[in-house]
Amino acid sequence: MWRAACAVVTCYDPAAMEIYGVKISTIVSDNVAARCAGCGEIIEGTPWRISILDVVAPESPVPWDQSAGLNPGPFEFHSDPSHVLAWMARRGTLFCRRSRVRELMRPVWLPVEPRRLGLCDGIHRDDHEFVEPMTASIG
């Protein structure tokens, strides 16, 4: 009777969700945990990841009751760079026009008030040109 009421297609038999005679009915479909940090939608297939490198390693790990000053990731996105730029814009992070959105981005603290963080791939040799992420042209 329960089997007929279950219309959800799963990769396992919902009737078999029983342990020692106790029915476990909370799991009725597969859980998709990979969501894009830029748009919040489910990422089909392998997510595209970005990590923020910290240029100086801390001498000791952060204590368990504190949070790290910079979360290096990896952050997961759809493969379109506009999703990364939208995520950066929401966080108030600037983007270097001389760089591209890559798997490893380097943080640059800008000498402005209030203090702001810029992200760059670090491949170019000339000066940085930080702009708001949504105005950057992806090339």
- pLDDT tens digits along 64-100: 887 666 656 788 999 899 999 999 999 999 999 999 9
Residue 27 pLDDT greater than 80, yes or no: no
Q: How many domains does the chain have?
A: 2
Report d(CA 59, CA 19) in Å as an integer.
48
Q: What are phi and psi of 14, to 5 degrees?
A: -60, -30
Asked if 72 and 46 sit in the same domain, the reply is yes
Asked if 21 and 46 sit in the same domain, the reply is no
Asked if 101 and 45 sit in the same domain, the reply is yes
Q: What's residue 72's pLDDT? A: 62
pTM exceeds cut of 0.85: no
Report d(CA 14, CA 31) in Å as an integer.
14
Report d(CA 100, CA 137) in Å as an integer.
9
**What is the domain extent for residue 111?**
32-135
Asked if 27 and 37 sit in the same domain, the reply is no
Q: What's residue 70's pLDDT? A: 60
Asked if 107 and 57 sit in the same domain, the reply is yes
Asked if 71 and 39 sit in the same domain, the reply is yes
Asked if 10 and 73 sit in the same domain, the reply is no
